[in-house]
């Protein structure tokens, strides 16, 4: 993914060729990058040999999930839809974990019937509901309990999940009671202690603090958990400033826990596996001179990529064709949607742009398409997977006639 003679290439194919053939806005993923990310992830955690369950919410595309399965990954799902999709993509039930604070009876019955690896429960009420269904089904159901470790993940407040004021998991003081209850149940098989403190974590310290609580819980319960599911959350380098979580350091800290407990580690990474593999190619519809800045009005909008509007997230924007002319104007990259939150970035010193030029919004592989919507009745974009210079359409653009 580099420039060659000023044209940006995704795995050897010019972005402008893709845009011409498939129109814009257009999501493109590089399979090579996904494979590279998985390899790096596995290499960093080699000494603990974890089960890696891809967080389907990051990117639930069927073909992508099929690839994840082929590459040996399991799945972390949070709804019956994601569970069905993961199974359909060929991921084996014994590699699927089910998280979430509000699993309905309908979802639990389905998961129990499918014999998935783990249902990670997040409250006493959910445990009682699983037990009720298990009894009816005459089954002993494998469950995990999700701990709320009251740890600040030092990430965006909207995507922090591990503090006591967050809805997720069971607080330490109640967890021991829940563990005791499950141990005494005929229909529940306690297998796992799970935890997930948030997403886009770049700093190692929160993980260190979280592990301290995990260790304390293991000591207090004196229970031999077959699995410890540490969730996901590993941050990526959106700013291109070489800031990412040090996975090797994290691995070493986890290893310390495993000296005394021989549990199998599960991870549920989403963003770190697929985030930097995706680009959103977009065409400039108009350039409008504004007060002290020019509005670069793109054909991609917040319905295609919600992260900037929702979290003020920053995604790099690069030109599909480089030139050497820098503008003195400030550019504000916006979409056509009728609200002022429909804005991607405000940049100074960008190269001079003109109408119909193409740009790419970077690192949109995770929580890009999965958070997209039909707001303003805009059809969802085409998705392409590039595999060794071969282009595969993995999702067709929604047709207006279906929407209307």
Residues that bind ligand LLP in the complex, under the rule CB under 6 A: 55, 58, 76, 99, 159, 161, 196, 199-200, 231-234, 268-272, 307, 311, 366-367, 371
* β-pair type (2-4, 13-14): unpaired
Minimum Å distance from CB 370 to ligand LLP? 8
Nearest CA-CA partner of 113 in 136, 129, 81: 136
Q: Which is nearer to ligand LLP, 75 or 394 (CB)?
A: 75
- The rounded distance, in Å, linking the Cα atoms of 264 and 368 is 31
Side-chain-side CA neighbours of residue 262 (13 Å): 0
C-beta of 151: minimal distance to ligand LLP in Å?
14
Q: How far is the CB of 204 from ligand LLP (least distance, A)?
A: 15
**Residue 303 neighbours by CB under 8 Å, 6+ apart:** 335, 337, 372, 373, 374, 375, 376, 378, 380
Q: Of the two residues 3 and 311, which places its CB atom closer to ligand LLP in the complex?
A: 311
Task: Please state, in angstroms and rounded to a whole number, the distance separating the CA atoms of residues 381 and 283.
Answer: 13
The vertex-165 CA angle with 159 and 167, nearest 5°, equals 65
Find out whether the peptide bond into 311 is cis, omega within 30 degrees of 0: no
Question: Which residue, 159 or 391, has its beta carbon nearer to ligand LLP?
Answer: 159
Other C-beta atoms lying within 10 Å of the C-beta of residue 257: 18
Between 19 and 362, CB nearer to ligand LLP: 362
DSSP secondary structure, 276-294, as one string: GGEEEEEEEEEEEE-SSEE
Minimum separation from the CB atom of position 288 to ligand LLP (A): 29
Q: Closest separation between CB of residue 201 and ligand LLP, Å?
A: 7
Taking alpha carbons only, the member of 311, 319, 244, 234 closest to residue 269 is 234
| Minimum distance of ligand LLP from residue 23's CB (angstroms) | 25
β-pairing, 26-30 vs 382-387, is parallel
Q: With contact defined as beta carbons under 8 Å apart, do 169 and 147 qualify?
A: yes
Rg (CA), the chain: 23
Residue 35: helix, strand or coil by DSSP? helix
Active site residues: 338
Nearest residue (CB) to ligand LLP, 164 versus 224: 164
Minimum distance between the CB of residue 262 and ligand LLP, rounded to whole angstroms?
A: 23
Measured from the CB atom, is 156 or 287 closer to ligand LLP? 156
For residue 41, give the 3-state DSSP assignment. Answer: helix
Measured in residues, the chain has a length of: 404
Whichever of 13 and 91 has its CB closer to ligand LLP, that residue is 91
Q: What contacts 24+ positions apart, CB below 8 Å, involve 108-114? A: 108/133, 109/133, 109/137, 110/80, 110/83, 110/84, 111/80, 111/83, 112/137, 112/139, 112/141, 113/137, 114/83, 114/87
């Amino acid at each position: 993914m580099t420039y060659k003679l000023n044209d940006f290439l995704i795995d050897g194919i010019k972005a402008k060729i893709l845009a011409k053939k498939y129109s814009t806005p257009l999501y493109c993923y590089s399979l090579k990058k996904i494979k590279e990310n998985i390899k790096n992830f596995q290499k960093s955690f080699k000494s603990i040999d974890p089960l890696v369950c891809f967080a389907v919410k990051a990117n639930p595309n069927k073909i992508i999930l099929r690839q994840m399965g082929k590459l040996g990954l399991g799945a972390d799902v949070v709804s019956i839809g994601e569970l069905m999709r993961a199974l359909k993509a060929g991921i084996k039930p014994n590699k699927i974990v089910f998280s979430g604070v509000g699993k309905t009876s309908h979802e639990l019955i389905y998961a129990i019937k499918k014999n998935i690896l783990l249902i990670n429960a997040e409250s006493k009420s959910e445990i009682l509901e699983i037990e009720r269904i298990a009894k009816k089904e005459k089954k002993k159901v494998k469950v995990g309990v999700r701990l709320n470790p009251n740890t600040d993940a030092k990430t965006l407040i909207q995507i922090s999940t591990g503090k006591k004021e967050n809805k997720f998991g069971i607080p330490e003081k109640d967890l021991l009671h829940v563990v005791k209850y499950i141990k005494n149940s005929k229909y529940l098989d306690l297998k796992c202690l799970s935890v997930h403190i948030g997403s886009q974590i770049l700093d190692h310290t929160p993980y260190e603090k979280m592990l301290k609580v995990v260790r304390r819980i293991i000591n207090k319960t004196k229970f031999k958990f077959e699995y410890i599911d540490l969730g996901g959350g590993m941050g990526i380098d959106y700013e291109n400033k070489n800031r990412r979580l040090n996975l090797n350091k994290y691995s070493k800290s986890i290893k310390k826990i495993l000296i005394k407990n021989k549990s199998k580690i599960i991870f549920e990474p989403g963003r770190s596996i697929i985030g930097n593999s995706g680009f959103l190619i977009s065409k400039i519809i108009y350039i409008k001179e504004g007060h002290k800045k020019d509005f670069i009005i793109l054909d991609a909008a917040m319905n295609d990529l919600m992260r900037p509007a929702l979290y003020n997230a920053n995604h790099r924007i690069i030109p599909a064709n480089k030139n050497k002319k820098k503008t003195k104007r400030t550019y504000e990259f916006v979409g056509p949607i009728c609200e002022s939150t429909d804005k991607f970035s405000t940049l100074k010193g960008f190269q001079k742009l003109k109408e119909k030029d193409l740009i790419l919004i970077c690192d949109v592989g995770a929580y890009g398409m999965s958070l997209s919507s039909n707001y303003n009745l805009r059809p969802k974009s085409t998705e392409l997977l590039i595999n060794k210079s071969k282009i595969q359409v993995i999702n067709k653009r929604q047709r207006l006639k279906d929407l209307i």
